[in-house]
Structure 1
C-alpha cells in the first residue's frame, strides 16, 4: 500500500508478533483468521449495515491497520487514512434449506482460503447473507491480530447499534474511543526485569515441552483432512452446578476445574507428572485509562506450569493451581517470546503446543443481555488458531467445552474422546474431591465396553489334549499322507509316527519322563521333526538349540534347563563337549526291542498342563532365560491357527525359522495335527529371496511363515505366474512395509512374545496403504491390555505398555521364580484367583479399528534379524572383560533403517582392548547376531540433567570404530570397486575397506543374498550366496569374481572415480582400534 496514506505507525504487541510469524510461516491459508457468524432473525437494511461498518472503519484505527515487516529492522503496524472495505451481499432466499446449508459452508471455506494479505489494509471484510424472509446471516471475517473477544464485543455492539440508527436516519453519538496505540505505548514503557525473575523461577528445571503424541491413526489416510475443525461438548447442568458449589465452598472457580482437568489429561496422555500448557488471559488490567473498552488485541497467552503429584488429594491440588493462576496477574503482560527466552526449553522449541481459554460469561453474553433484538441474535465464531489444539471453555449457568484442532494432525474421534475424558475428570472432581490424583478415572464407560468387546475372544479347543496326541490321532486317520520332507528324504504320517516312537523309547531308557527337559540340537530337517515329536511322546519338554551357537552358550542352556539328554548328530559333538549332559546321537541310532510298540502308550499321567517345550530368550541379568510353555497353550495356538487359516490335509506348509526361534513350533504343529505336509528348503534357498520364491512356487506351497526381514525381501522379487500360495505369514520383528499389488497372496502380520506362545495378535496387511502395518487384535482365548506406568488403561491412540493374558501365557521362567513374579503380574481387571498378565515391555497403541500398532521396546530391548535381544546380557559379558570398566549397548538404525548393535565402552587406566579381542571374547559366548558391529570408547558418559546417561548424546559410529578394524585399504581394481559399491548400497555405509568383513559390518544372510544378486547382474555371473560366506571381504570376493570371469578376459568393470579414490585416501588415515 502507498506510504502516503499512513497516518500513524507503531510497534506490534508481542501477541501480534507471534501471529505475524505464524501467518507467514504456515503453509495453510487462513491461519488466525476468525469468522464471526451472526444470525439476524429480523429485517435488515443492507445500505444501513454498510454505512455502519464504514462508520466503524473511521472510528477505530485498528480497522485501518496493516503490517509492514519487509525492509525494516522491526515489524510495525501502520494506520491508514480512510480506505475502501469489502461489504458483500448474497441473496440465497430462493435456495432450499439443504442447498443453503451447503452454500453457506462452501462460502466459509472459500472465505478462509482467501485469507488476508497482512500488508494490505483493511484486514477484515463483511458479508450479508439473506437466507429467506427476514432471516439473515452476517459474516464478519478478520485477522485475529486486530481484535480479541472483548474488543469484538465492543465493535459489534457499536456497529449493529449504528446500523439501527442509520436505518432511522440517526448518527451515532459516542465518546472518542481509547486508541489501541495507548496500550502499545504502555507495553513499550514496561520494565520486565521483575517479570524475568518471576518467570525464571516458575519455569526452573522445565526443559522438555509437554507433547501430545496423538498423530492421526495409522488406519486413516493422512491426506484427506486438513485445516481447522472443532468439536463441542456440554457438561451436564447438574455437574456444572456441583462444580460451582464446590468452587464456592473452597475458593475456587470453574476455570480452576477446567485448567485442572486439562492438566491431568495432558499428564495422562504424555506420561509426564509436570506439564505446561498455554493459558489465555484477557490482560485488561493495566494503568491504561479505558483499557477495558479498547478495540484491539490485548490478550496474552502465558505458560501455566502444573505439577501432578500422584498422591496429593484433588482438592488440595486444585487450591494450589488456583494460587498459581492468581500469582500470574502482575506478570500477565510479559511478552511470550521473552518468557520463552528465559526458560530452559531449547531455543526454537515452543514452550507448549496446546492452549486453554476460559470465558465467564461468554464474549457475546453482554450483547444478548441487552434484550430486544439482541436477545434473538445468535453469535458464533469459527477460528483457526496457530496452535494444533485449543480448548475453549465457557462458563455461566452451564459449562461448554469446545476443542479447535488441526485436522491434519488429529482425528475427530480422538478429539471427541478427549472431550469425554475432560467430562470424566470433571465428574470425578465433583464426586470425591479428596481422592488422590493417581486414582482419578479417565476413560468413559463406552471406552471400557469397547476394550471388553475387543477382548471377547473365547473359543472352544481341546484343552485337555497334548500336542503329540493330536498328531497321533491324525496319523491314524491319514497314515499314508506325506507328513514332512526335506531335500534328502520324506516321511509319511505312518513313518513319522513310527520313527518318533522308536526315538521316544530310546529317550525313556535315558531317563526322560514327564516334564523332563531334552535338548534338541539339530538343523532344520526331517530328523528335527522326528526328535521334537519323540520328546513329546516320551513325556518330556524339548529345548530347541541352534547348532551354530558357541559351545559355552549351548552348555549353559542345557544345564540351566536341567536337560536329561541332548539329541544331536555326531558332527555336533565338539560344540556340545563342554556340556555336562548325555549326548544321544541320531547317527548312532539302533532300534531297541519292541520298537514298533507305540511309545506314548505307557504314559498315563501326562496332561495338557505339563510342559511341551522350554525356549530361551535373551535375559536382562546377563544370562538367557528359559520360557516354559505348556501343552494346553500350544494346543490353543494350533487350534486357532487351523481355524483362522482353514487348514486342511491338502495344505503344504514350510519350516523356515531357526529351531531356536519359537516360531518353529508354530510352523510345525498346526499342520501336523491336521494332516497337512511340512516342506523344508535347504539353507541356500532359505536365505535367498529369489531362490525361495521359486522354491515356494515349485513345491506348490500353500502357506508359509517367513520371518519379517525375509517377508519384506520377497516383496521385491518377481513371482512366477502360477503359485499355489494363498498366504504368507510373518512375524518376529516390526514389519515396516506393505506388499505391492503384484504380491501373489495375502500377507498376514503376527505379533507375540515367547512368553505368550508365539502368537498373540494377527492382522491382514493391505497393500499400498500409507500407514505402518498393524499387529492386529488378539487371537482366540487371548486378551491384550494397553496400560500406563501405573497399570491404568490408556485410551485409543495413546502409547502404552502391552500386557497379555489368556490361555497362551507361559508357566513362567525356568528356575527363576522371582523373575516370573516380576513379569507375570496379578491381573488388575480379573478377580479370578491366579489370573495373570504378562508385562511385555513393548510400546503399542490401539487404533480406531480395534487393531494394535507396535511402536518400540520400552526397556531398550531390541530385535536384530527377528531375535529379541536384551542389551544388558551383552553388557554383562563386556563388563567381565579385563579391558572394560563399563559398557552400554544400544541399537542404532543404519542408512537402510535396520537396527544394528553399537557398544560404548569406558576403559580402565591401562587403556582399551583391541576391537578384535572384544569380538573374539563375545563370539565365544554369544551368537553372531548378538555381537555389536561397532565399539566406541568414551572417557565419560554424557548425562542428562537428571543424572542419567543421555543416549541421544552418544556419538554415532564411524568407519574407524567398526569391529575387527583391519588396516584400512581402498579398492585397487575395477572388480573391487564394483564389489565395494554394491556393499555400500546394501549395508548403508559410505566407505568400506577391501579387508573389512561383510558380516562384521552388519551383513547377514538376507543382505548377502542382495549383494550376490546385484553382483550377478553386474558381472553376468551365477555366484552363490555361499561364495560370500566363504569370501566375506571385498578383496576375497573380487578375486573369486575375477576367477569366474577368466581374469583379464572377463567383462570390463568401471574403475573408481577420482572423487571416490580421494574419499578412500582420506579414510586410510584413520587408525585401527577402539575410537
Structure 2
C-alpha cells in the first residue's frame, strides 16, 4: 500500500502542466531527458542505490499529482518509491546500430510519457555501450524539476555513488523542502501585480504573428514531431556581444531578447512585439538556490520596435523594463493573461526565449575531477510552436526547438541564421539604427538580390512595334493577320488601312507622343486603329465602350487626347470632349488603304510612348500608365522566344480592349507573322464554347484570364485541338492541369506599370507542396525584389511587398507627379543612375526553389480584434486541400462591431465535412485567430469586367455557415442538457448536436466550465480530455453514456473547477528556465 506522507497545493506552473496532461496535449511535451555518457566502469547496483538515496532525500522525486476526490489539484508525497530502471547491453553491436537504437530509445521514452498520478515521475535506462562506456538516460516530467534542480541532483547522485564504491556512506546538507516554496507563493499579493501587468499590456490585443511559408505539406508530419536546430557562435563573437551588453548596461540575456524581438519584427512587420521569457524565480526565498523543485515562471516581454531608434538606447529601455519586472516575476502567467486585453483563449505569445548561463554539461564539467570526463546532454520540448534556447558559455550556443506541424526544418535553419546575423550586426555596429541592422546572411542576401535577379538577356536593339509589323507585311503580305466578327484581314490589308488612318491622324495634328483615344470593342478595327496611331507617331489610349460615361470623360480630359478613334455606332454615345472624332469603320470608307500611298517617314525612337492604359485608382479616379515602345519590345522578344512563336501560329485576342492583357495578346504575334483570332462575346464568357472554338479555329497559343482558364481546364478537350500553350494571368491561379491535357499551362503575373507581364511559371499537374501555383520568376531584363516597409529584403518564406524594375518599367503615372514619386522609387540595389523600382502593393513571398508566391493585395490585409491578418496566406493554405479549386478569404462586418473572417470556396465535389477538414488544415499551419469563422461554398466567384474576382459581390454567409454545417437539434436528454450547458458557457441562443465546441468560440477556460457543469447537472465525472477528443454535443453525449455505464462511475473531484477559476490553460507554460538574474 502506497503511503502518502505529505500533501500540498500546486504552483501555478505545475497546474498549467497538469492541465496540459489532462487535456490530451502533445505527447512528449514537458518530458525532460538527460543523457549522461560515462567513460568509466559503472557499478550499476551502486549507481541505482545512489539514485534511490537521492529520491529518499527529496520529496519532489517521490511526488505525484492528484486531482480526483479533492477540491483542487494537489501533489502527494509518497513515503517510498522504487525508481524504474531498464538495463541494456549493446557491447556486441556495431557503432551505427548502437546510435540508431539509442535514438529510437530516446523517442520511445519521450512519447511514452508518464501517468501523472503515479510516483515517481522519472525513470532510468542504463546502456552498456562498451567495456568502459555507459550511457545513462534519465527521463523525468518537468512538473517537478527545473534545470537548476537537475544540476543539483546529478551532483548528489555521484556523491553518493562514489561513497558507496568506497564502501562508505556520506551525509549531505538537506535543503529546504519544495513545500516551503508553495507556502511562500500563497502569501503573495496580486493587487500590485495586477496594476503592473495591466500597464505593461495596455492596448495589446493580438499575439505577435509568426507565419512562414512551408517547404512541404503540414499533413506530412505524423504525430507530435518536434525538431531542433542549433549553432554555436565563436568565442570572438560571444566576447564582442558581452562587451556590447556591458556598454549598454544590459545582460547578455537582454541583448539576446532584443535580437529576437528584431527578428520577429522583421518577419511579421509589426512594431509591437511580445514573446515569452522564463525566469528562474529563486532569488526571493532564502535557501531557494539549493532547493529541488519547479521554480521557473514564463512571462511576457513586450518590446516596441522603432526602426529609427539607436540600438544602445533601445536596449537600455529594455533593461528598465526588466528591472521593473523583477518584483512581479512570480505572477502566474494565467493571471497575467486574464488581466490582458486579449480575447479569451488566445495565447499571449507563440514563441519563448530561454537563457541559461551554461549548459548542464558545462556546469557539471566545471566541477573538475572526474566530471571533466563525463558528458551530459539535456533534451526537452515546450508546448510552444517555437522556443529559442541560449546557453551563455564561452561560445554562445543558440538552439531553436520547434513543432514540425508549424515550421519546416529549412525554415528554422534559415531563422537561426538570421538570428546569428542580427547578433553579428549588434556586435559590429552598436551605434546603428535598428532598421540598419542586417538580418539576412550574406549568402541569402546575394541569392535574393543578385542570383535570383540575374535576368540580363541581350535582345536586338529596341525598335518601334509598328516597324516590326510593317516588316511582316512586306515579307508575307497575303498571310492572314487577324480574323474576327466574320471578317478577315491580311498583313497587306492591315498595313495599308493603318497607313491610311495614320495620314488622317497627322492631318488632325497627331505627332510624336500625341495621345489618341481608341474607343472601340475587340475587333479588327481596334488593331487598325492602334497601328495607325503608332505610324502617325502617337500613342494610343484604349477606352472600353462599356465604361461609365464619367470614367470616359475623365480619361479624355486627363490625357487631352488630340483625336478619338471610334466606330459610327459608338460615336453616338461618346461623351463630348475637345478631341476630334474619326470613324474607323472600313465599310463606311472613312479609312481606306487601297490608295497604296505611303506616309512620309518621320524619325521615331523606341523611347516614344506606345500607349497609356488606365487602371483603377484609390482616389476614385483611374490613373494612366504610359509605356514606351522599348518596354513593349522587351516583352515581345521574351514572348516570342519563350513560346517559340512562328508564322503558322494562331493566337487569340480575348481580353477587354482597355485591359493591358490585350497588348500582350496581339503584338508578339503580329510582329512574328502569326495570326490573331477574335471570338465573339458569348464565346469568351462560356468555357465549353471557348474550348470548342479554340479547337475549331486550330488555335495554338491562347491567353485566358485566370477564372476562364481554370474553367476550361475542367472541360473535356477534343482530340482535334491544336493548342500547345495556354497562357493565363490577371488573378491568383488555384488550379493545376490534369495529366491528360495535351498542352502546357503557364501562369503569368504583372502590373500594368511594368508592361503587362513581369514573372511567369509553368504549371504542372503535380506541384511542390500541393499548393497553389506560384507566379514564378522575373522575365528577362526584369528585376523582382520582395522587401519590407524599409526596403530591406525579407527572408525566404516571409511575406513582403513585390517591387519591380528593369526594361519594361513605366516612367510613372500620367499627370500624377506625387503618386509617381510615391510608387516609383530609386532602386537601392543598382548602382547605375536613374534605376528605379515600382512598388506593386502586392503581397508575395519567395519560395525556397526561387519562385515567387502571390498572396494578395496589401490593401486586402484586415485587422480583426487588433490582429493583422493576410487573407492570401489563409487562401494559400486552403487551396492545398484536394477538394478546393479556388478560395477567397475576406473580413465581413455584417453586424456592426462584429468583424469575422469568411472563406469562400469553389469545389467540384466537396465532402460533407469539408469545413471541418479545412479548419484542421489551417490550425495545423497557422494560429487560431487565422481560422475563418465561416466557410461558404459557391458554384463560381463573381467576376469584375476585367475577369478578376469581385470581392465586394461575395454574398453574406448564412447563419449555419458559422457552425460548419446545418443546424440539427439535440436528441435525447443528455444531448439536450449538454447543448444547454454549452449555450450557458458560450453565451449562445442555441447549439446543434454537430456543432464544434471550439469552432463556436470555446476555449480551454470554457472547456473546464463545461466539465464542471457536467459534473453538477449530469452527475458524471467527465475527464477534460474527453471534450477535446469529442468536441460536439452528439459525440460528447455518447462518451458520457459510456462513462456512466462503467462500474463505480460517480462524481469524484473538483480539480477542473479550481483550474477554471484560476484560469489555467494549456500552452501557457514552458519547460525551459532562465538562470541569469
Q: Does 1:187 align with 2:185?
A: yes
Report the alpha carbon displacement of residue 454 of structure 1 after superposing the two structures with TM.
Answer: 0.4
- Equivalence map 1:450-461=2 (5 Å): 450-451=447-448, 452-461=450-459
* 1:153–1:364 CA contact under 8 A, matched in 2: no
* 1:229–1:404 CA contact under 8 A, matched in 2: yes
What's the CA shift string for 1:9-49, capped at 9, x where partnerless? Answer: 32221112222333444653211212211221222222233
- Give the Cα–Cα distance (whole angstroms) in 2 for the partners of residues 617 and 400 of structure 1: 53
What's the CA shift string for 1:502-550, capped at 9, x where partnerless? Answer: 3333333333222122222222222222222222222221111212122
Q: Which of 429, 432, 442 is 1:432 aligned to?
A: 429
- Report the secondary structure of 1:330's partner residue: helix
Report the alpha carbon displacement of residue 618 of structure 1 after superposing the two structures with TM.
Answer: 0.8
Q: Which of 294, 302, 311 is 2:308 aligned to?
A: 311
* 1:501–1:595 CA contact under 8 A, matched in 2: no
Q: Residue 648 of structure 1 aligns with which residue?
A: 646
- Give the Cα–Cα distance (whole angstroms) in 2 for the partners of residues 247 and 899 of structure 1: 45
Q: Which of 292, 315, 329 is 1:295 aligned to?
A: 292
- Give the Cα–Cα distance (whole angstroms) in 2 for the partners of residues 37 and 238 of structure 1: 29
- Equivalence map 1:971-982=2 (5 Å): none
Q: Residue 763 of structure 1 aligns with which residue?
A: 761
- Can you give the 5+ residue segments of structure 1 that lack an aligned partner in the other structure? 863-893, 905-935, 943-950, 958-983, 990-998, 1009-1075
Q: Residue 211 of structure 2 aligns with which residue?
A: 213
What's the CA shift string for 1:592-618, capped at 9, x where partnerless? Answer: 79845465x533321110111111101
Q: Residue 319 of structure 2 aligns with which residue?
A: 322
- Report the secondary structure of 2:552's partner residue: helix
- Give the Cα–Cα distance (whole angstroms) in 2 for the partners of residues 615 and 347 of structure 1: 50
Report the alpha carbon displacement of residue 955 of structure 1 after superposing the two structures with TM.
Answer: 12
Q: Residue 810 of structure 2 aligns with which residue?
A: 810
- Equivalence map 1:458-607=2 (5 Å): 458-587=456-585, 589-590=588-589, 595-597=594-596, 599=598, 602-607=600-605
* 1:225–1:407 CA contact under 8 A, matched in 2: no
- Report the secondary structure of 1:352's partner residue: coil
- Give the Cα–Cα distance (whole angstroms) in 2 for the partners of residues 692 and 740 of structure 1: 18
Q: Residue 369 of structure 1 aligns with which residue?
A: 366
- Give the Cα–Cα distance (whole angstroms) in 1 for the partners of residues 742 and 5 of structure 2: 73
Q: Which of 81, 88, 91 is 1:90 aligned to?
A: 88
Q: Residue 446 of structure 2 aligns with which residue?
A: 449
Q: Residue 801 of structure 2 aligns with which residue?
A: 801
Q: Does 1:359 align with 2:372?
A: no
Q: Residue 921 of structure 2 aligns with which residue?
A: none
- Give the Cα–Cα distance (whole angstroms) in 1 for the partners of residues 861 and 272 of structure 2: 27
Q: Residue 403 of structure 1 aligns with which residue?
A: 400
- Give the Cα–Cα distance (whole angstroms) in 2 for the partners of residues 783 and 225 of structure 1: 42
- Give the Cα–Cα distance (whole angstroms) in 2 for the partners of residues 986 and 593 of structure 1: 50
- Report the secondary structure of 1:514's partner residue: coil
Cα distance change of structure 1 residues 246 and 41 upon mapping to structure 2, 3 Å threshold: same
Q: Residue 777 of structure 1 aligns with which residue?
A: 777
* 1:219–1:848 CA contact under 8 A, matched in 2: no
Report the alpha carbon displacement of residue 177 of structure 1 after superposing the two structures with TM.
Answer: 4.1
- Give the Cα–Cα distance (whole angstroms) in 1 for the partners of residues 726 and 102 of structure 2: 51
* 2:481–2:494 CA contact under 8 A, matched in 1: yes
Report the alpha carbon displacement of residue 101 of structure 1 after superposing the two structures with TM.
Answer: 2.3
Q: How many residues of Structure 1 are paired with residues of Structure 2 in the alignment?
A: 894
- Report the secondary structure of 1:813's partner residue: coil
Q: Residue 421 of structure 1 aligns with which residue?
A: 418
Report the alpha carbon displacement of residue 295 of structure 1 after superposing the two structures with TM.
Answer: 1.7
Report the alpha carbon displacement of residue 899 of structure 1 after superposing the two structures with TM.
Answer: 7.7
Q: Which of 68, 76, 79 is 2:77 aligned to?
A: 79
Q: Residue 752 of structure 1 aligns with which residue?
A: 750
Greater RCO, CA 8 A, separation 6+: 2
Q: Residue 379 of structure 1 aligns with which residue?
A: 376
- Report the secondary structure of 1:491's partner residue: strand
Q: Does 1:670 align with 2:687?
A: no
- Give the Cα–Cα distance (whole angstroms) in 2 for the partners of residues 814 and 185 of structure 1: 75
- Report the secondary structure of 1:386's partner residue: coil
* 2:221–2:404 CA contact under 8 A, matched in 1: no
What's the CA shift string for 1:925-977, capped at 9, x where partnerless? Answer: xxxxxxxxxxx8x9xx86xxxxxxxx9479999xxxxxxxxxxxxxxxxxxxx
Moved more, 505-514 or 372-381: 505-514
What's the CA shift string for 1:820-852, capped at 9, x where partnerless? Answer: 222111222223221111111111111111111
- Give the Cα–Cα distance (whole angstroms) in 2 for the partners of residues 182 and 783 of structure 1: 66
- Equivalence map 1:330-345=2 (5 Å): 330-345=327-342
- Give the Cα–Cα distance (whole angstroms) in 1 for the partners of residues 376 and 949 of structure 2: 64
Q: Does 1:838 align with 2:835?
A: no
- Give the Cα–Cα distance (whole angstroms) in 1 for the partners of residues 519 and 780 of structure 2: 32
- Give the Cα–Cα distance (whole angstroms) in 2 for the partners of residues 462 and 339 of structure 1: 67
- Can you give the 5+ residue segments of structure 2 that lack an aligned partner in the other structure? 863-883, 905-935, 951-1077
Cα distance change of structure 1 residues 901 and 65 upon mapping to structure 2, 3 Å threshold: closer
- Give the Cα–Cα distance (whole angstroms) in 2 for the partners of residues 817 and 296 of structure 1: 68
Q: Which of 128, 145, 150 is 1:130 aligned to?
A: 128
TM-score (norm 1): 0.78
- Give the Cα–Cα distance (whole angstroms) in 2 for the partners of residues 309 and 178 of structure 1: 46
* 1:52–1:159 CA contact under 8 A, matched in 2: yes
Q: Residue 1050 of structure 1 aligns with which residue?
A: none
Q: Tell me the C-alpha RMSD between the 2 structures.
A: 3.0
Cα distance change of structure 1 residues 319 and 47 upon mapping to structure 2, 3 Å threshold: same
Cα distance change of structure 1 residues 212 and 149 upon mapping to structure 2, 3 Å threshold: same
* 2:499–2:593 CA contact under 8 A, matched in 1: no
Moved more, 555-564 or 776-785: 555-564
Q: Which of 691, 696, 699 is 1:698 aligned to?
A: 696
- Report the secondary structure of 1:327's partner residue: helix
